[in-house]
Structure 1
């Protein structure tokens, strides 16, 4: 079993974004069963953030409430929280002053009900050297207030620079059948060389690879996916070709397309020189959590078939719109 911050985690984690990053956060009676289902399924690496929601109501508040009701689960969960943004704004600020503000606010909201196992800046601040940012976080590690440091959406050079300042416990990046950049841009290679596990967010392509979306109109109003190029206009329909092929493989195996997508990410772990890779699918219902957490293993023939599909498909549109594109792999 993989380890993060010296703690054993399951081969699949759980992303909390879908529970709180919406116009109205899910109520406890919906969110809590999903969270419990994740833990019971072995998905004990939980990934949240102070940016998932509003300053007054985000994933940290939900976590506080969850561990108030289920205090016995606190030691079972390995918690990773993203911060380091300007308050209420999706703009990175890796200055020591803002790192202090961000970590202190996270700890304040948690109220000691759950130890903060990992802290990571959601994006790299282009105006603050990564060495300064990591040194500021490391002070909290040395003080015993947080367990470790992880990175998010960083390039290979940034990973190596950060690792010279402090131990990096994980690197969070997007990875799915339609987002395989890390295998070409040196990120996976750098993590393998430094023995850093990769936390793969959006392994189902932000829900696209589940096959549930048939047209851009199926995306709810206000959903940020409406502003991502891959989900817009003709690009959406061109990308559906990948979903159709994945669905064909899933049908033959008797599983869902989402399960195939997650199984492919898991199968990349420690294959061909890759580091340990842990997918963190997000889901807002108990049934979907159980679906995503199912132990689906691909045969070598199935893996080869999916690889052939992937290599012959080129996604149409970028991963992010203009707003966040310049901060990817920074």
Structure 2
């Protein structure tokens, strides 16, 4: 796999990363043996950026990565997150961007990951009760101490990104970005990243699996799959969004690639590092093959027609989760 710079602060990663959340939370049944085999295969295929968070489980996903990387920590660029407060007994207690919590969370994450440093440490969400300057100042202290190599923020507005970057240079911003979610192209975030030299890490680059073409009904989800609460997978929204997927499938078929590969190639073409999530080796291998897909001018034009900004209906989270987004 080729590597590219993520931002302008010296971090280089594979052109596609791996979102590890679903291995431990939110997407139905968990199989640790297959998850560990998937992580092994990812490293074999040249994936370097492994993305987790203390809230995934909670803690379980970080511990899984710690197990997978035991004895070979240098093989991966580990990204984890704080800012959603998790009590030591695993309860979610809301947003918390206070410096003392950030430090506590980082020390706990280091133990869970079995490492002495995190390569990329994000604020998972922006706490409106704490000035962003205070939160970033705490991250900057951890960088100075060598416990964190690079910092970033997730789901931040352009204004917040600029304020954060003024305190300490951000290496990356993680935002939802895909053919299903193109808001950052129109709200100033992408412009800010390009101007400031900050890398974009695109989570949910397959529209939470919708763009894979494998989902044909909300009934395809397990009872404990959180997508059952996602507005884009409900009622008329589902039917309308399925029309977009059908167009993506048609373009992919003409190009002799899978819909997932087409969608991931588009994200890569936009200059972002995609972190598609999977917990199975066969999907991992399909996704990584997208790094070898080249899109022509004609392909891009067809994709723009099939999935322009605004084509997808429904909010991307349920109301309580939408309230945690910055701006």
Is the TM-score greater than 0.5?
yes
Residue aligning to 1:327: 324
Q: Is the 8 A contact 1:7 1:78 kept in 2?
A: no
TM-score by length of 1: 0.92
Shift, 1:289, TM fit: 0.3
SS in 2 for 1:151: strand
SS in 2 for 1:311: coil
Of residues 85, 95, 117, the one that matches 2:119 is 117
Query: Which structure 2 residues correspond to residues 1-330 of structure 1 after superposition, within 5 A?
Result: 1-4=3-6, 6-22=10-26, 26-55=30-59, 58-68=60-70, 71-72=71-72, 74-87=73-86, 88-89=91-92, 91-112=94-115, 115-269=117-271, 277-294=272-289, 295-311=292-308, 314-330=311-327
Q: Is the 8 A contact 2:66 2:112 kept in 1?
A: yes
Q: Is the 8 A contact 2:179 2:308 kept in 1?
A: no
SS in 1 for 2:294: coil
Shift, 1:287, TM fit: 0.8
Q: Counterparts of 2:155 and 2:58 in 1: how far apart (Å)?
A: 21
SS in 1 for 2:148: coil
Q: Counterparts of 1:210 and 1:24 in 2: how far apart (Å)?
A: 17
Q: Is the 8 A contact 1:242 1:313 kept in 2?
A: no
Q: Deviations over 1:284-330 (max 9, x none)?
A: 11110010011211111111110111228621110111011122244
Structure 1 residues 306 and 260 mapped into 2: Cα distance closer, same or farther (>3 Å)? Answer: same
In the alignment of these two chains, the number of paired residues is 317
RMSD: 1.6
Question: More displaced, 244-253 or 20-29?
Answer: 20-29
SS in 2 for 1:86: strand
Q: Counterparts of 2:5 and 2:30 in 1: how far apart (Å)?
A: 30
Q: Deviations over 1:265-301 (max 9, x none)?
A: 11111xxxxxxx1111011111100100112111111
- Listed as ranges, the gaps of 5+ residues in structure 1 are 270-276
TM-score by length of 2: 0.93
